[in-house]
A = this chain, B = another copy of it.
């Protein structure tokens, strides 16, 4: 069939862009199959691909930014690993052309829907790991994210976390956070502040400890921001 040939060409082009050639092309095919098309769809792949992606970008950031705290690394990762960025990469490497969608999704433009594209990207990372191993999948992710990790949003690195969190909440028309001193404890003869950051109706609360109230507040703000950007990305949310 003509459409089969077109798909096969799209799959060849995608493999070229991934710089990875499948020994078992049926794995790539399943990674590109939306649940609306057939029962052998990509949702279970996505579960694995998401974990490969999260580890790989975590390790890239860890190695690139040796001075950042865990909270700051989490935030950078949330900026890099989200539907918006994945859909962007999917468009760059023409993943849409290789997708298998049910007729409903086809008619409604599913081949350029960010959630469908992002899920297919994650599923492809899993497919590479099944076809070869974890390291090959890691390499594919590294190639696709190398430039993005280098150019990761340093604008906000200069800005303090509390300001960035406040702006992020305002952009989503959400209430401002409440910071509270939960405890003051003595560690090695030094006072430590235990601060909580409460996002109110969103139901998110986190705590951090620091030698100054301000430092601990900044840390809670970084964690709250990472959570907010993951759960409520400004682009249309996943699922």
- In the bound assembly, the distance between CA atoms of A7 and B10 in angstroms comes to 58
Confirm or deny: A46 has a beta carbon within 8 angstroms of a beta carbon on chain B.
yes
- Asked if A209 contacts B47 (CB within 8 A), the reply is no
Chain A at the B interface: SS class = helix
Contacts of A202 in B (CB 8 A): 202-203
Interface residue ranges of A91-111 to B (CB < 8 Å):
102-105, 108
- Asked if A70 contacts B55 (CB within 8 A), the reply is no
Query: Closest CB of chain B to A222's CB: distance in Å?
Result: 12
The residue that A47 contacts in the complex, of B44, B58, B192, with Cβ under 8 A, is: B58
Query: Closest CB of chain B to A103's CB: distance in Å?
Result: 5
What band does the interface of chain A fall in when counting residues whose beta carbon is under 8 Å from B? 35 or more
Give 29 CB contacts A-B under 8 Å: A37-B188, A43-B69, A44-B62, A44-B69, A44-B70, A44-B73, A47-B58, A47-B62, A47-B74, A48-B55, A48-B62, A51-B54, A51-B55, A51-B58, A54-B55, A102-B187, A102-B188, A103-B187, A103-B188, A103-B189, A104-B185, A104-B186, A104-B187, A104-B188, A105-B187, A201-B203, A203-B232, A204-B231, A208-B239
What 4 A-B pairs are tightest by C-beta distance, nearest first? Answer: A104-B187, A51-B55, A102-B187, A43-B70
Taking A36-B192, A208-B239 as known contacts, 20 extra A-B pairs with beta carbons closer than 8 A to each other, sorted by chain A number, are A36-B188, A43-B70, A44-B70, A47-B62, A47-B70, A47-B74, A48-B59, A48-B62, A51-B51, A51-B55, A51-B58, A51-B59, A103-B187, A103-B189, A104-B186, A104-B187, A201-B201, A203-B231, A204-B231, A207-B239
